């Protein structure tokens, strides 16, 4: 909670919301909080609800199911929500930029030094093994904790298990699996007798001057045009990821594998072990995990410009979709098509987590290429991490750090 103390003071609580205070609060939260979007949401709920009093206490926690149902990162959707409610669309843009900027800066340095990591050193290789095994457990624990919320009824279970089987087999692009699940959800909603309305906030955008809106729109438009023209391929790749990102950053792992890992991948052709080491490393650095990943992949594809294009492409879809949704929330709250899309996307997100868990486990818990040789030490780390996460005994950051330390000591 150090970020909360840094981001707020007694004087701030008595003052009205401003773009500067909004930017400062999210920038400091993202700079200080390790563990991804859920950890950022918890601290933001304390800062904006209890300290600054811009929201009611617990409001962001109540909106977590909505943030998971819509495309985008949990941390990004949190920033968009707070920004939209306090300062309209411009506030949403400011909040989103503030929550992403620390991760972008830190992971530019990580991306530059990652290739120079001495992985042949037994202590380093042991720590990376521990990270991979722990991440397998963290993913499994995340899947178990969110299963009841994401998968309900016979339809949800059929979609979740069928999508998991297809993804683990690896014969189909994960993007098509998500699209297929959404299509099935729309068909189900079309013929279902009853679909529960979407639980979503209803609030009006604060009044703002016309000149303010015009200036902010022009700046975003010019920046987007510059990025697209200079690094269109990277930008387009990550716009796709941004549109298919439901439930946080972990479900994107299978899409990253398809796009960047292996000799047949369209881009980068990273070794699976190097990819697994990198994704585990994203858990040990501040900020949203997927912004870390976008910065890394974009840097490898096109340097600093590529990192900028990748991060912008990942975040832009959620900004456009959420601000539009909040502006017309009353119109689509009971829309059968929208209900069906989200109803199909939720169980598909769980299937993506299954696929991501298998990816990490195959690099630490077992080795399918070596007659399914199991690692007892990897099993202990993975099961321990999953158990602690489900029981709520330890945060992700602590689990990942412990896994790295134990791996460095015992895994060589």
DSSP symbols for 56-75: -TTHHHHTHHHHHHSBS-HH
CA 357 – CA 354 distance, rounded (Å): 5
Residue 213 lies inside a defined structural domain of this protein: yes
| pLDDT at residue 73, as a whole number | 83
| pLDDT at residue 23, as a whole number | 92
Residue 358 lies inside a defined structural domain of this protein: yes
Tokens 């590529």, residue? 306
What three-state secondary structure class fits 263? coil
Tokens 């859920």, residue? 38
**Domain of residue 16, residue span:** 2-195+208-410
Pair 182, 190: CB distance under 8 Å = no
Residue 141: CB atoms within 10 A of its CB come to 23
The residue among 25, 41, 91, 4 whose CA lies nearest residue 248 is 41
Residue 263 lies inside a defined structural domain of this protein: yes
Residue 73 lies inside a defined structural domain of this protein: yes
Residue 201 lies inside a defined structural domain of this protein: no
pTM above 0.75, yes or no: no
CA 9 – CA 45 distance, rounded (Å): 15
Which positions ≥6 away from 320 have C-beta within 8 Å? none
Residue 202 lies inside a defined structural domain of this protein: no
CA 408 – CA 129 distance, rounded (Å): 8
Take residue 381 and report the two structure tokens written for it: 């780390």
Residue 203 lies inside a defined structural domain of this protein: no
Give, for all 412 residues of the chain, the pLDDT tens digit.
455 444 444 444 446 788 889 999 899 888 876 556 766 776 787 788 878 888 887 777 667 656 766 778 888 888 998 988 888 888 888 899 999 898 888 888 877 776 666 656 777 778 778 877 887 887 788 788 778 777 888 888 999 899 888 888 766 767 678 788 889 988 988 887 766 655 555 554 555 545 555 555 566 666 666 656 667 788 888 888 888 777 666 677 778 888 888 888 888 888 877 787 777 677 666 667 788 888 888 888 888 888 888 888 888 888 888 887 776 655 666 677 877 877 887 788 788 778 778 877 877 787 655 546 778 888 998 899 888 888 877 766 677 778 888 888 876 6
Number of domains, the chain: 1
| pLDDT at residue 161, as a whole number | 92
- Please provide the distance, in angstroms rounded to a whole number, between the alpha carbons at the two ends of the chain: 36
Residue 200 lies inside a defined structural domain of this protein: no
| pLDDT at residue 304, as a whole number | 86
């Amino acid at each position: 909670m150090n970020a909360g103390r840094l981001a707020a003071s007694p004087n701030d609580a008595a003052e009205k919301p401003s773009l500067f205070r909004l930017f400062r609060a999210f920038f400091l939260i993202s700079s200080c909080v390790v563990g991804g979007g859920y950890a950022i949401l918890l601290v933001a709920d304390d800062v904006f609800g209890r300290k600054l009093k811009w929201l009611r206490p617990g409001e962001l926690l109540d909106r977590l199911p909505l943030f998971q149902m819509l495309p985008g990162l949990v941390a990004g959707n949190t920033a968009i929500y707070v920004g939209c409610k306090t300062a309209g669309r411009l506030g949403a843009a400011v909040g989103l930029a503030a929550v992403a900027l620390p991760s972008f800066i830190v992971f530019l340095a990580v991306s530059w030094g990652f290739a120079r990591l001495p992985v042949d050193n037994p202590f380093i290789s042991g720590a990376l093994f521990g990270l991979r095994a722990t991440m397998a457990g963290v993913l499994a624990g995340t899947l178990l904790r969110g299963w009841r919320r994401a998968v309900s009824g016979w339809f949800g279970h059929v979609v979740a298990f069928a999508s998991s089987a297809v993804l683990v087999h690896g014969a189909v692009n994960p993007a098509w699996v998500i699209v297929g699940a959404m299509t099935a959800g729309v068909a189900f909603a079309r013929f279902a007798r009853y679909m529960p309305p979407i639980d979503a906030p209803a609030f009006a955008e604060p009044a703002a001057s016309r000149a303010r809106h015009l200036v902010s729109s022009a700046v975003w438009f010019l920046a987007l045009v510059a990025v697209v023209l200079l690094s269109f391929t990277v930008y387009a790749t990550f716009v796709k990821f941004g549109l298919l990102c439901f439930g946080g950053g972990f479900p994107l792992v299978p899409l990253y594998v398809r796009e960047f890992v292996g000799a047949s991948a369209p881009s980068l052709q990273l070794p699976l072990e190097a990819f697994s080491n990198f994704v585990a490393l994203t858990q040990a650095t501040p900020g949203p995990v997927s912004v870390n990943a976008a910065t890394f992949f974009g840097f490898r594809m096109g340097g600093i410009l590529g990192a900028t294009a990748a991060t912008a492409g990942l975040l832009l879809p959620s900004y456009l979709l959420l601000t539009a949704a909040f502006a017309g929330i009353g119109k689509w709250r009971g829309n059968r098509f929208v209900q069906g899309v989200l109803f199909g996307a939720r169980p598909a997100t769980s299937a993506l987590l299954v696929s991501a868990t298998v990816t990490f486990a195959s690099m630490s818990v077992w080795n399918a290429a070596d007659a399914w040789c199991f690692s007892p030490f990897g099993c202990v780390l993975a099961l321990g991490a999953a158990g602690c996460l489900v029981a709520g005994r330890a945060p992700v950051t602590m689990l990942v750090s412990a896994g790295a330390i134990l791996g460095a000591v015992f895994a060589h």
